[in-house]
């Protein structure tokens, strides 16, 4: 069982860290699902997978950003 410190931090048990591959610097998110809260490891990985290949065969990401933001001078 984990305990909340005065700074509202918790320590994840070693078995959980090993199973999830959590090391110092790993990004995590906490989301509410129904009546529970879930710890999501590397939440940006899902976004990367979602957008991977969206520009394939089309404009590149640099061209897209220039179109959206305007050409840098």
Q: Mean pLDDT across the stretch 30-51?
A: 80
What is the rounded average pLDDT of the residues 47-70? 70
- Determine whether domain 1-41 maps to CATH 2.10.260: yes
Mean residue pLDDT across the chain: 81
CA atoms within 13 A on the CB side of 41: 12
**What pTM value is reported for the model?**
0.51
Question: What average pLDDT does the segment 12-39 reach?
Answer: 90
Domain residue extents for the chain? 1-41, 43-73
Q: How far apart are CA 66 and CA 44, in angstroms?
A: 23
Least-confidence region, from 1-5, 59-63, 64-68: 59-63
Residues 5-22 have a mean pLDDT of 91
């Amino acid at each position: 069982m984990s305990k909340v410190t005065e700074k509202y931090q918790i320590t994840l048990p070693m078995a959980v860290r090993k199973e999830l591959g959590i090391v110092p610097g790993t990004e995590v998110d906490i989301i509410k699902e129904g009546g529970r809260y879930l710890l999501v490891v590397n939440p940006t990985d899902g976004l990367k997978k979602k957008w991977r290949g969206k520009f394939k065969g089309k404009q590149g990401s640099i061209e897209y950003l220039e179109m959206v933001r305007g050409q840098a001078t």
